[in-house]
Structure 1
Amino acid sequence: MGMSLQTFSTASEAQAALGASGVRYMGGGTLVVRAVNEGDLSFSTIVRTTDPALSAIETSDAGVRVGASVTMGMVLAHPGLSYLAPAARAVGGPAVRNMATVGGNLFAPAPYGDFTVALLALDAKVSVSGSGEMALEAFLQERDSLGASALVTSVTFAAPATDSFRFLKVSRVHPKGAAVLTIAADIREEAGSVVQARIALGCMADRAIRTHAAEAALVGRPRTKEGIAPALTAALEGIDPPTDAIASAWYRREVLPVHLGRLLLG
């Protein structure tokens, strides 16, 4: 079957073209091109856009806006996004990072999607053409039901406080292997106790998830070995890790508390 490529100058034109059957949107191509190479017959037309707004990064006191077409390489090169550098660097090697986009990473299935885990811990919001703005957590839960015509245009979030954000990817092959698990956390403390916690997990379900039970167990306690113990136990609630060629579900459950503890204490 032949494959056609349509390029539009604006996101609105691309979004309109996605309304036809057998069409798939392509950002950097790391997911779509792989699907083509693997013989995916569910689509015969690829749509993309060169809209410059989708490749823009805006940082201000009001917050951060990252266009969906921004690549991991662009994130790494931006001085105002240094706290996201570990998450961007976790996405493949240099060639992949120069193609893989922020928007595309939102659709990556486990064991991929490391950057999305970081955005989830930052309580990001996603702008979707035709659906408006929605919380990233809600978007991840609903992304399969949004329909092929939905086009992500940007993500927005508040920059974390100094030293509050942390990220960890556990992989068997460094630095670019698929994840055994990924953890990101934004922890705020006052007077020696945690006053706010957001903890996101990758490879603990078929998409990135928040562990609200662990967050609640951490608030009001000191960030010590004894203080975080209830959160490590609570992190196992509501997870459904996959078994794949990288690791078994059993192994992922076993190592989650270990690595979460290291991240919180580190």
Structure 2
Amino acid sequence: MALALQTFSTVKDATAALKAAGTRYLGGGTLVVRAANEGDVSVSSLIRATEPALSAITVSGREVRIGASVTMAAIARHPDLSSLSRAARAVGGPAIRNMATVGGNLFAPAPYGDFTVALLALDAIVSIDGGEVPIETFLAKRESNHAIVTSVGFSLPVDGGFRFLKVSRVKPKGVSVLSIAAVLEQAPDGTVSSAQIALGCMADRPMRAKAAEKALLGRELTSDGIAPALAVASDGTSPITDPIASAWYRNEVLPVHLGRLLLA
């Protein structure tokens, strides 16, 4: 089926056009174009915006803002975002990373959306045309969101405070069995003072492992110290089952891989 494509110079004009039936926003096209090619007849028209801010990365101290049209490849090579390079490189192979955008990744269904897992651990703020929304709130309601995402903002963690792991059967660019991102802060005595852990493929969208986060507080990052967190790692999860792995398998291996991440 042929798709019509309209390009607008401003987000405002693109948002107005998005209200038409059958219209979807085009980021890198790795999701929406594939869906159309695979027979999704609900998509008849694509729109995009070329506003310069959508493709900008700004870093001021530890404060970061990434435009929604920024690609994974651009993030992976940015000198001030080296801590996020592994998460950006987890998104497909080079060809996909040259196309896949931050904004599009926010809408990627499991088992995709690895970079969004990182953004969730970073407690990012999603900017849409008309306001800002905490990423956890945005993800919970993303299907009903009819505004265009313009950027995401977050604070870079302290050196060594961010960790990311993607588990896949085919390396380096296979689809995820699961992915985990964590932002950890430690007190002077080495115990965990703050923990934000996000999981991919453990629900139909990235989710926070809040029971594990709570169990880590005041604990040392040792095998014994993290044991309570691993015991509750699967609390609240509802993993997907797909050709890559079953829900049972994902629940079984989550504590193993979370342990490896925390002890890295």
Which interval holds the TM-score relative to the shorter structure?
A: over 0.9
Q: Secondary structure at the match of 2:33?
A: helix
- Indicate the residue corresponding to 1:17 in structure 2: 17
Question: What aligned pairs does 1:139-154 form with structure 2 within 5 A after superposition?
Answer: 139-146=138-145, 149-154=146-151
TM-score, reference length from structure 1: 0.97
CA deviation string 1:164-200 (max 9, x = no partner): 1000000000011000000000010011100000000
Question: What aligned pairs does 1:181-260 form with structure 2 within 5 A after superposition?
Answer: 181-190=178-187, 191-260=189-258
Cα drift, residue 21 of structure 1: 1.3
Q: Secondary structure at the match of 1:240?
A: coil
The residue type equivalent to 2:48 in the other structure is R
CA distance in 2 between counterparts of 1:96 and 1:9 reads: 25
CA distance in 2 between counterparts of 1:225 and 1:44 reads: 53
CA distance in 2 between counterparts of 1:192 and 1:23 reads: 52
The residue type equivalent to 2:138 in the other structure is F
CA distance in 1 between counterparts of 2:240 and 2:3 reads: 32
1:167 to 164, 167, 174: 164
- Indicate the residue corresponding to 2:50 in structure 1: 50
Residues 122 and 155, structure 2, Cα contact 8 Å, conserved in 1: yes
The residue type equivalent to 2:160 in the other structure is D
Question: What aligned pairs does 1:26-175 form with structure 2 within 5 A after superposition?
Answer: 26-61=26-61, 63-130=63-130, 132-146=131-145, 149-175=146-172
The residue type equivalent to 2:196 in the other structure is R
- Please, what is the CA RMSD of the aligned residues? 0.9
Cα drift, residue 62 of structure 1: 5.7
CA distance in 1 between counterparts of 2:79 and 2:121 reads: 20
Cα drift, residue 11 of structure 1: 1.2
The residue type equivalent to 2:184 in the other structure is I
Residues 62 and 157, structure 2, Cα contact 8 Å, conserved in 1: no
Q: Secondary structure at the match of 1:180?
A: strand
CA distance in 2 between counterparts of 1:120 and 1:66 reads: 14
The residue type equivalent to 1:66 in the other structure is I
CA deviation string 1:210-249 (max 9, x = no partner): 0111000001111111110110111110000011000000
Cα drift, residue 76 of structure 1: 1.1
Cα drift, residue 3 of structure 1: 1.9
CA distance in 2 between counterparts of 1:195 and 1:92 reads: 34
CA distance in 2 between counterparts of 1:95 and 1:3 reads: 22
TM-score, reference length from structure 2: 0.98
Q: Percent identity?
A: 66
Cα drift, residue 43 of structure 1: 2.0
The residue type equivalent to 1:214 in the other structure is A
CA distance in 2 between counterparts of 1:118 and 1:31 reads: 19
Say how many residue pairs are matched: 263
Cα drift, residue 119 of structure 1: 0.5
Cα drift, residue 50 of structure 1: 1.2
Cα drift, residue 61 of structure 1: 2.1
Cα drift, residue 2 of structure 1: 3.6
Q: Secondary structure at the match of 1:243?
A: coil
